[in-house]
Structures are given as C-alpha cells and as structure tokens.
Amino acid sequence: MAPQPSPAVPAGRPAAELMTPTALSSLQAGRLSSARSLVNRMLREKWRVERRSLTVEEDGSGEAVYRIHTADRVMDFVAFAFPPSSQERTLRIFDLGWDMMGALLDGPAMAEDIEHTRNEMPRLYHGRATAHTLTWCRANRSLRVFAHVVEALAAGRQPDTVALARVGYLMRNIGLDGNGTFGTRTFLAYGEDHPLAVPYHAQLLSAYMMRELSADLVEALAARRSDTAAALDPRVRRFLGVGNSSALGLVLWVGNHPVLVDRWIMLRERALAHARGLSAAPGTAVRDTLVALLERAALYHSEDVNEYSCFTPAERIVADLRRVHAAIPGRAAAAAAEGRVPTVAELVDGVEAVCDEAAEVVNSVLTELDPEESDRLAAGLTVDETFRRDGSAAVGELRALLAERYAWALAVDRSAPGAVANTWYKSRSAEEPRCGATSELPEGTIDLTVDVPGMVQHLDGVLAAEDPALPVGRLLARRPELRGAVERLQSLAGHAYAVPHANIRDAAFVPARIIRLANAALYGLERTKDYLGRDLRGVIFQGAPTAADLGTDAAGPWFWPAVPRPADSLVLEAPVPAPSNGAAR
C-alpha cells in the first residue's frame, strides 16, 4: 500500500526564502537529482551493462566497449584510455592531456563508429560526432589514488579504504558534452520514449560508465603486473564514485536555463510537501525509512574529511542530524498520547537550532519516503525553454509584474561600492567563462552577464516614462533593444523559482553558491566543497550499484555509503587472469 498523505498538502516555500544564494547552496542531492533518478531507473527497469571488450597495454593505453541494455533498446559506450602525463593536467575543458575519452552511442557501435570516434574526439572543437552519438566525455585519473589501487591489487590485497575515502574516486570528469555539442544528438531529438529522455541522464550515464571503466582499468593493470593480482572487493568498487570539478560556467548555465531550474526546484518542493503530509505511524515503512536514513546520513557526513570554507562543516551537520533523529521518539510519543498518528512534518520540522544544510539533508531523506511519487515527479523535468513575448499586454501590467516578481532586483543598490564591479565573459585562450573586474577587461570584450537586477531596473525606468495603457508591442516597435528583456520577464511570470535572487556583478558575490545549486541539488553530487569560492569539487555515484549489481534484486538505499573498513575483513575476489595479446579481463 502506498504511503498515505494528509488531506491538505501545502505549497512550496516562498521564493524570497528559497532563492537566495545561501539557501540555494544549502540544497542537497536527493531522489529527484539527475544522478539518483538515473540510477533508480536503471534499478527499477533492471538495466544491464555488458563489457564486450577491453584491451589494456602496460603503459595504461587501451580501448573498451560496453553495451548498456535498457528495458527496450541497447546503447554502447566506447572508451579510449591513454598513458597518464603529469603535463597538461588542468581542469580546463579544452586541454588535450586527458587520460580517458568516451562516447555514448544510441544503438550498437559498429567498427566504423569506433574508428570515427577514435579519430574525431581528440580534435574536440574541430571534431564531429556521428549522427547517433549522444555524448562525448573526457576524464583524468586521480594519479595517487589510481596508482595506489593498482599497486595494492597487484600485491594481492585491497587498497587502503581510509585513503580512498579522502578522494572518493579513481577518475575525475573533465567534460560531459551532449545536446548538440560537437555534433552530438540534440536532447529534443531523443523522443519521449527514449530511456534517457530526462534532462542530463545521457551525460550522467556517461559519467557512470567512466566509473565502471576506471575500476576495470585498475584491475587490468594490476593483472598485467602480477598473475596473482586481486580484483576490487565489491564493497570497495561500489564505494568509489567519479570525481567532478565545476567552475564559473554553471553560474551562467543557471542564468540561461531559468525554466528548467524552476521546474527542478518546483518538483522538489512538491515532493517535500507530499512527504511532510505522510502518515508516520509506528512500524510503517515511512517511519522506519525516515529513522534509518537519518542514521545513514549522519554516519556518511561523520566520515567526511573535507574542509569547507563557504559551506557548513560536516561536524555541525552531523550534530544537527542527530538532534533531529533524537527528537522523533518524543514527538511520536506526544502524538500517541493524544490518540493520533503524527505526520512526517510533526516528527522532523522545527527542531531547534538546526542549520540550513542539515535541514536540507533531512529534506533529501523526505524525498525517499514515497519513492514512487518522487520518481513520478522526476519524470516531468522536460520543459519548453522558449521565451515568448505578449505584445498585447499593457505597459502598466508589465510594470506591475516587475514590482511583484522582482522586488528583490529593484531593491538592489547598483550605486553601492562594488555593486557592478564585475563582468562575466569567455576567455579567448581557455574557451571558458570567466568573471573579472570590468575596469580591467580589454575593449570589445563580450559581456555574457545574466544581470537580472540591471535588466529589471533599466526596463522599469523605461516603463515608468510611458503611458500605462500603451501596448507593450507598440513600445518594442520603438525600442527593439528591450525585446530580450521583455520576452524573458514575461515568459518567467509564472515561474517563482526560475531566478536566484542575486546580483552576480557584485564584487561580494560568491559563485560557488550557485555552482553548488547545479552540481549538488540538480545533478546529484555529494561532498561538494569550494575552492576560493569560484570552483566546486565533489563526487558522484559514490555507493551506486556497479555493473555487477544491476539486474539483481539488491535492496536498500545505495547513496551515502559508509567507508568499507579494514575491520570488515574485506574478502578478496578470485585472482584476475593476466591479459594476453594486449587483452585484459
């Protein structure tokens, strides 16, 4: 029987509360995040991943082909590994010092597809994917961790899991490109019945396959060194995720995809409102899951060794999660004394002195209490991002819209010191977004800033001088430069969660807060820490089922895994056969 909601489900939180940079950066990965929703679909539909070939040389170069069997079709992941180099190893998306390249193809990869991809992908911006390529991706090794794991396995033992936990991955994503980039298939061309017809599932499936390849590579390289090499213990292999580092481009991504951001947050708020209204009777799946996941979350964060500068320390989150957990028995007893069954909200809301990030971890737990409802909502992420203007609307109506929806933007004091100090632009040398002092930029720099306060204040000033009854179309005929602003603001009128309440030109703006919204809440990264407030690093798919787990009846949550401890007496797998003729297992 499905969990039962209360009769009235409240609406989501007010935008003024939820859309500040600090509040947005507190949002955590949950069941509606793309990584989790992808894995949950893979498990629900019993997808399988078949390694069709893997060749690895002693220097680390090699090729692999994997076949992904979904409910109704196959896709192939083609990967190329390269010897690691200490040179050219940066986080820039255009650099050529990659340790791995891969392509996700819709359907079986023919020999000509593999050859084409092998030749074209290294050319990157000058290359072109085949017509049925969904993504191109690139990754680099974590050199020390990768080498440590190969050395340990070659010696017939498991790697030091405490050391692994400090990093959490063998390879780090450098680029996940799809939706038309480099000639890949556009997302809208997938079709509604495609197994990856949820935004960013194709990119994240590629990241999942990076993870699978990285584990296969360390085992194959260990087998080349020793006939008695061990395979990774399944628990260790499952614990390792994929690293990710994102920078300023995601701030512009959030600004340029307001409808998608709104839908993501709105669906999450609906899932939370539904979960809070669920009956939490003793002994029910809702109550048991709530308690168990709070315990699991506290343990996971207690093992987090990262140091956070912009965000809340793990120790504080753990203490607050334990406070919420400890409050449940007393609150449940109080409801029972009144002869009624408490709702989830009564058990977890309003615990004193809980920080925002811990509260959002609790919210992530809530999205797991009715999995079917959360999965139903997650399937509704596809949106029409086209802006359209209404020329028949009166100027007075448009100005009223600005006053109602963008009061925060109108209140920004753009004359304050540093308020308009920065410009967002693309570096000519790195082909990547940058943010720098406007006064220091060369003439002709193209301004990419999604400056909502500046846009709103300028438009409001123009509208104030016009007849309120004048049709907007008449105004735009005289002032065509306003069309973009009017289209955007009119199109977003019904989207409360579309725009972060932030002035990204301000010298005090911290980009990592908005980057974290995209990386953690939307994509599903964990342990996201900032570097200098401008770069965000984290791990994805940590604890996720491996290819060997897919298609089985494995039960229980996979996220927030505990570190496999040496005291667990990790069982060594059978020795890995040494490869012959360049082939590895």
Per-residue model confidence as pLDDT tens digits over 120-144: 998 888 899 999 999 999 999 999 9
The pLDDT score that the predictor gives to residue 580 is: 34
Rounded (5°) CA angle 345-349-355:
150
Contacts for 156-161: CB closer than 8 Å, 24+ residues apart:
156/226, 156/228, 156/229, 156/230, 156/572, 156/575, 157/230, 157/572, 158/230, 158/232, 158/233, 158/236, 158/570, 158/572, 159/232, 159/236, 160/566, 161/236, 161/239, 161/563, 161/564, 161/565, 161/566, 161/570
Given a cut of 90, whether residue 503 has pLDDT beyond it is yes
**Mean pLDDT value across residues 29-55:** 96
Q: Are 154 and 572 in contact (CB under 8 A)?
A: no
Block residue for tokens 């999660």? 321
**CA distance linking residue 236 with residue 80, whole number of Å:** 24
- Tens-digit pLDDT profile for residues 326-335: 999 999 999 9
Predicted confidence (pLDDT) at residue 571 exceeds the cutoff of 90 = no
- DSSP type of residue 498: S
**Residue 532 pLDDT > 80:** yes
Count CB-CB contacts under 10 A for residue 506: 19
Burial class (CB in 10 A: 0-12, 13-18, 19+), 11: exposed
The tens digit of pLDDT for each residue in 187-231 reads 999 999 999 999 999 999 999 999 999 999 999 999 999 999 999
Assess whether pLDDT exceeds 70 at residue 451: yes
What percent of the chain lies above the pLDDT cut of 90? Answer: 86
Q: Which of 112, 117, 25 is nearest to 79 (CA)?
A: 117
Question: Residue 551: pLDDT band by 50, 70, 90 thresholds?
Answer: confident
- Dihedral Cα 106, 107, 111, 115, nearest 10 deg: 0
Give all strands (DSSP E) within 419-545, no chain letters.
422-426, 433-437, 526-531, 535-540
What is the pLDDT confidence band of residue 3, given thresholds at 50, 70 and 90?
Answer: low
Mean per-residue pLDDT over the chain, rounded: 92
Q: What is the pLDDT of residues 288-338, one digit of tens each?
A: 999 999 999 999 999 999 999 899 999 999 999 999 999 999 999 999 999
Q: What is the pLDDT of residues 48-71, one digit of tens each?
A: 999 999 999 999 999 999 999 999
Q: Is the pLDDT of residue 581 over 70?
A: no
pLDDT at 1 over 70: no
SS3 of residue 404 by DSSP? helix
Structure tokens at 323: 């406070």
What gap in Å lies between CA 313 and CA 304, rounded to an integer?
Answer: 9
Per-residue confidence (pLDDT) for residue 553, from 0 to 100: 74
On whether the CB atoms of residues 34 and 199 are closer than 8 A, the answer is yes
pLDDT higher than threshold 60 for residue 582: no
pLDDT at residue 435 above 80?
A: yes
Of the candidates 449, 451, 453, the one whose C-alpha atom is nearest the C-alpha of residue 412 is: 453
Per the rule left: phi > 0, alpha: psi between -120 and 50, beta: everything else, 527 is left
Q: Return the bridge partners of 232, or none.
A: none
Q: Is the pLDDT of residue 570 over 70?
A: no
Answer whether 0.85 is exceeded by the pTM.
yes
Confidence (pLDDT) at 450: 97
Please give the pLDDT value at position 50. Answer: 97
| Beta bridge partner(s), residue 580 | 583
Contact 338, 295 (CB under 8 A): no
pLDDT (tens digit, 9 = 90+) per residue, 254-287? 999 999 999 999 999 999 999 999 999 999 999 9
Beta strands 74-81 and 62-69: pairing type? antiparallel
Residue 5 has pLDDT above 50, yes or no: no
What pLDDT score was predicted for residue 89?
54
pLDDT band for position 556 (50/70/90)? confident
All residues at 6 or more sequence positions from 269 whose CB lies less than 8 Å from its CB, including other chains: 11, 12, 13, 18, 497
Amino acid at 122: P
Q: What does 207-251 look like in DSSP terms, one character per residue?
A: HHHHHHHHHHHHHHHHHHH-TTPPPPPHHHHHH-EEEEEE-THHH
For residue 400, give Cα distances in angstroms to 118, 314, 512: 56, 44, 33
Please give the pLDDT value at position 221. 97
Residue type, 466: E
Read off the pLDDT of residues 382-401 as tens digits, 9 standing for 90 and up: 999 999 999 999 999 999 99
Q: Is the pLDDT of residue 573 over 50?
A: no
Mean pLDDT lowest among 215-224, 409-418, 519-528, 558-567: 558-567
From CA 179, how far away is CA 182, in angstroms rounded?
Answer: 9
Cβ atoms of 349 and 10 closer than 8 Å: no
And the tokens for 135? 């993504």
What are the pLDDT digits (tens) for 340-382?
Answer: 999 999 999 999 999 999 999 999 999 999 999 999 999 999 9
For strand 241-246 and strand 169-178, is the pairing parallel, antiparallel, or unpaired?
Answer: parallel
Contact 159, 153 (CB under 8 A): yes
Per-residue pLDDT band for 585 (boundaries 50, 70, 90) equals very low
Pick from 3, 2, 17: nearest CA to 356: 17
